[in-house]
Structure 1
Amino acid sequence: MLLTGGGRSGVRPFRTDGGGRLDRRLPWPDQRRVVRRWRRTRPFWAGLLLILGGAELLLIPLSPLTVLVSLGLGGIAALGIGIALVVAGLFLWLLPHTHHYVSVNAMILSVLSFAATNLGGFLVGMLLGIAGSAMGFAWTPVPQDGEEDPGRPRVRDGQGTRTLAVLLPVAMAAGLVAHGSGRAEAVP
């Protein structure tokens, strides 16, 4: 079935039945269609960012045992927070109905990693965790065919919630950068 992109001029038509040029060229179109349907019914990218942030926090402490002992409490905290962020990402994938609870806990752990580990994995793991948890919290399930959600505004092409989920972490990072660029002065 072909649909046009909301009646706007200059928008190419897109397919809703999953068929297209890539399905003819790439192998296993049925398996890719199943994975695509699974991915679209849960906060997939939020879970992926949480898993990547947790894996980045785990990289430093998973060096030889002598390095871990020399890192002390920060190394042990990085192990705990990293494993917890990876588990939170898996929870978002496997139990998407728990996204609010898991995302709030992942946000707390990500911010805590700044003080408890090596500056949140040199800021990379912390920022990935913050972005993933914000996207996971903002995710809303798309109603199935025939279902109508009266509390959700109608968006013609489904881009409204995705735009918010992408722009929220970007706006937060821009606010942190803009706020940190000012000079601190002593108050008399």
Structure 2
Amino acid sequence: MSAETPVQSAGTFTRLRLRFRDWRGTRPFWAGLLTLLSGIPIAYFPYATLKLGHMSIAMATTAGAGSLIIGVLLVTLGLTMWFQSATRVFAGVAAILLALVSLVISNIGGFLIGFLLALVGGALALSWAPGEPPVEAAGEHDGAGAPTGEAAPDDMPQDPAVAPQFPAVPFEKGEEDGEADGVRAAGGHRVG
């Protein structure tokens, strides 16, 4: 191969991995994953039967149907966080509430495994915020923070070390202690 030979396209696995990474970065992926996983132990344990030799241990509760409903709802909320990221606040609050209800209904929230996963997943969904799309690839910025080649807004000072100036606003004399000139800045500071 020579230096002029164009680089061959990336393999299928690399392309799929990069597409998945881009998809994952535009939604609360980890919140959805933890919430989805939390539904499994909550729904499973009330119906599970553990066999130790000839002895069977059943962890069934009277609220087995409630546990199944909570588990299915948590799985659905996890998928909602992935595919409808605009509803992440609702899904996060609902996941936290279902986690708290599962403590009472479903074997202490799936032996605390499902409870903790749902609690953390809901909190992550509430705290996630969509990122800003990049304006330029590898932008160079001038000292004012505006990208090079673009004018900074008029209300933004060009020098970041300069403090913003408040306009003078008249007020009644004697409104504040000892201010007799009748002028103060809009921010509440005395001008003079």
Q: TM-score, normalised by structure 1?
A: 0.59
Query: Deviation at 1:62?
Result: 4.1
Specify the code of the residue in structure 2 equivalent to 1:38. Answer: W
2:40 aligned partner: 55
1:45 aligns with 2:14: no
Q: 2:104 aligns with which of 115, 134, 138?
A: 115
1:130 aligns with 2:119: yes
1:76 aligns with 2:57: no
Specify the code of the residue in structure 1 equivalent to 2:97. Answer: I
SS of the residue corresponding to residue 71 of structure 1 reads coil
CA deviation profile, 1:65-97 (whole Å, cap 9, x unmatched) = xx9x98353211110100000000000000001
Query: Deviation at 1:58?
Result: 1.8
Partner Cα distance (1:114, 1:70) in 2: 15
2:17 aligned partner: 32
SS of the residue corresponding to residue 114 of structure 2 reads helix
1:103 aligns with 2:92: yes
SS of the residue corresponding to residue 60 of structure 1 reads helix
Partner Cα distance (2:35, 2:62) in 1: 22
Query: Deviation at 1:30?
Result: 1.0
Greater fraction of residues in strand: 2
Q: 2:81 aligns with which of 83, 92, 115?
A: 92
Runs of 4+ that moved beyond 6 A: none
Q: TM-score, normalised by structure 2?
A: 0.58
Larger Rg: 2
Partner Cα distance (2:72, 2:59) in 1: 20
1:157 aligned partner: none
Specify the code of the residue in structure 1 equivalent to 2:124. Answer: M
Specify the code of the residue in structure 2 equivalent to 1:41. Answer: T
Asked if 2 retains the 8 angstrom alpha-carbon contact of 1:74 and 1:118, the reply is: no
Asked if 1 retains the 8 angstrom alpha-carbon contact of 2:47 and 2:60, the reply is: no
Partner Cα distance (2:126, 2:78) in 1: 12
Query: Deviation at 1:143?
Result: 0.9
Give unpaired runs (5+ residues) of structure 2: 1-8, 50-55, 137-144, 146-192
Greater fraction of residues in helix: 1
Number of paired residues? 122
What is the percent sequence identity of the aligned residues?
Answer: 35
Partner Cα distance (1:115, 1:58) in 2: 13
Asked if 1 retains the 8 angstrom alpha-carbon contact of 2:46 and 2:61, the reply is: no
CA deviation profile, 1:92-134 (whole Å, cap 9, x unmatched) = 0000010001110111000110011100001110000000000
Deviates more, 1:71-80 or 1:36-45: 71-80
